[in-house]
Structure 1
């Protein structure tokens, strides 16, 4: 499975303190990451069962 790397996004997300709200300007980026993880979970979960 291909891996997408975005060092800029990684650095920006790493700058957000743990247990803090995600800044509104990062909502779309975080939503895309979560959607990708959800899709991977669906694909891999079906393969394991």
Structure 2
């Protein structure tokens, strides 16, 4: 598991690009439904 599920909406389409973990966050039940692209700085884990 990369992230715990959000309290509302969903995360999906995770990918790594240019030093960032990127993914989409959608909440269709919000008063004004939205989709956002989130980019968090980081590096891919190695091993395990």
TM-score, with structure 2 as normaliser? 0.24
Higher normalized helix content (fraction of residues)? 1
Higher normalized strand content (fraction of residues)? 2
TM-score, with structure 1 as normaliser? 0.24
